[in-house]
Amino acid sequence: MTRVKIDTSRFKSDFDSLATIGATNDGGVHRPALGPDHLKARQWFTQRAQRDGLTVNVDSAGNHSAVLLFPEAEKALLLGSHLDSVPYGGKYDGALGVVAALEVLSAIKASGRSLGVNLEAVDFTDEEGTLVGALGSEAMAGELTPERLCNLRCSREEFVEALKRGDLKEESLFQARRNPDTLAGYLELHIEQGPWLHDNRIDIGVVTSIVGSRSFRISFNGRPDHAGTTPMTNRADAGLGACAFNLALNDIVVKQFHDCVATVGGMEFKPGAFNIIPGQASLCLEFRSRDKDSLEKLKAGVINLANDVARHRGLDVSLEEVAVWDPVHMSPDIQRIINTSASNLGLSTASIASAAGHDAQSFAPIIPTGMIFIPSIGGISHSPQEFSKWRDCVNGAKVLLNATLAAAESLRG
């Protein structure tokens, strides 16, 4: 049988050419979902796939699939990740997985080998949550709900504009659902985005589970007032409420919730001027854990704390839960396949839980799903400083290729 090999120079030149799209001058990329540079990256994807004779399909959620069909295959094995980035993010997050998936398809096609499952390399829409978060993969997995589209991560106007730019219709997003019976499985290569693999000198992380998360918009409401004439003891300062809440929550999580992380990633004061006591302070809070019970307990803690702070400071508070992702587990069979594929290449492996969300989360509940991690230097991600050694990227692509071949064998039928 012909040997199938990653073409490392093609892989490198593809990765580098994609990284020029939306490039920032500090070495990162700025490609928010359905923004001009994300759409350019999608054009690049189409041209890249067609260059090697792969067909490209675009579904009603904008997911771009490069497809490699085989005569005896019925189901599709999906290999994917995302080409969108967080604002001013790094060039590896998502992009590595998509370029490696394309490379795997090209390598298998060039070898002339026929598999028992069709292959698709997918760029999913809006993984990073500029609009909704995992919009494309949830739509494809049939998990997108109308409620999710009521709790946007941007304004409704921005959402409508983004869909228009992407030539998408809100009501058609749900039609991207694929029947799980037609899908053999899902594999994703990604950077770890944390320091563990690098610190422990492990080549390949075999992902066991992906953390769940809860997101809230919290608004403290007080009384806007004159910043000069209002005595310090007679204020209903919503800004102080938001700050007190953030500091106290940090304490609670550090002391009582060892398996959780919590972040207030945004805070806005209104009216927002030097000389006005803030009448309203809204914040966006997200917390994560690999344990669903911990998430529920922390949620109860957050609600109690917000009410306590409000009462203590003479404020009103409202909480709105905007996203719920439960923790998911990767298929034990796929974990074994990834482990064997890496070991056969002489690479060291370790099981690892993902502390970051991924498109794999959408598929894990419905089809055999697995993820391959490579080390992130310093654990830095969602930053232009995000960096992985090229040797590790190539290792990841090789493991993805071998895992694809082995999974195609075991998941056919």
Would you tell me which residues interact with Zn ion (CB under 5 A)?
Answer: 93-94
Residue nearer to Zn ion on the CB measure, 222 or 396: 396
Residue nearer to Zn ion on the CB measure, 93 or 120: 93
- Name the minimum Å distance from CB 164 to Zn ion: 25
**CA pair distance 200, 376, nearest whole angstrom:** 12
Amino acid letter for position 106: S
Residue nearer to Zn ion on the CB measure, 95 or 107: 95
Residue nearer to Zn ion on the CB measure, 94 or 129: 94
- Name the minimum Å distance from CB 362 to Zn ion: 13
Structure tokens at 57: 């399909």
**CA pair distance 249, 357, nearest whole angstrom:** 22
Residue nearer to Zn ion on the CB measure, 116 or 379: 379
- Name the minimum Å distance from CB 190 to Zn ion: 6
- Name the minimum Å distance from CB 357 to Zn ion: 8
Amino acid letter for position 194: G
- Name the minimum Å distance from CB 371 to Zn ion: 11
- Name the minimum Å distance from CB 192 to Zn ion: 11
Residue nearer to Zn ion on the CB measure, 94 or 396: 94
Residue nearer to Zn ion on the CB measure, 210 or 283: 210
- Name the minimum Å distance from CB 127 to Zn ion: 6
**CA pair distance 363, 22, nearest whole angstrom:** 29
- Burial code (b: 16+ CB inside 10 Å, e: under 16) for 244-274 equals bbbeebeebbeeebeebebebeebebbeeee
- Name the minimum Å distance from CB 42 to Zn ion: 16
**CA pair distance 164, 170, nearest whole angstrom:** 9
Burial of residue 288, with CB atoms counted within 10 A of its CB: 0-12 exposed, 13-18 middle, 19 or more buried: buried
**CA pair distance 161, 353, nearest whole angstrom:** 36
Residue nearer to Zn ion on the CB measure, 279 or 357: 357
In the bound complex, which residue of the shown chain has the CB atom lying closest to Zn ion? Answer: 94
Q: Tell me, what DSSP letter sits at residue 181?
A: G
The DSSP-derived string for 215-268 is EEEEEEE---EETTTS-TTS---HHHHHHHHHHHHHHHHHHH-TTEEEEEEEEE
Helices (DSSP H) in 314-389: which residue ranges? 332-344, 360-363
Contact present, 404 and 18 (Cβ < 8 Å): no
Residue nearer to Zn ion on the CB measure, 37 or 308: 37
Q: What angle do CA 139, 143, 148 make, to 5 degrees?
A: 85
Residue nearer to Zn ion on the CB measure, 237 or 359: 359
Residue nearer to Zn ion on the CB measure, 35 or 279: 35
The secondary element (H helix, E strand) that includes residue 182 is none
- Name the minimum Å distance from CB 145 to Zn ion: 22
Separation of CA 254 from chain center: 25
- Name the minimum Å distance from CB 245 to Zn ion: 29
Amino acid letter for position 4: V
- Name the minimum Å distance from CB 97 to Zn ion: 7
Query: CA separation (Å) from 347 to 101, 181, 187, 204, 396?
Result: 20, 34, 19, 7, 10
Nearest to 281 by CA among 315, 312, 323, 307: 315
**CA pair distance 190, 326, nearest whole angstrom:** 20
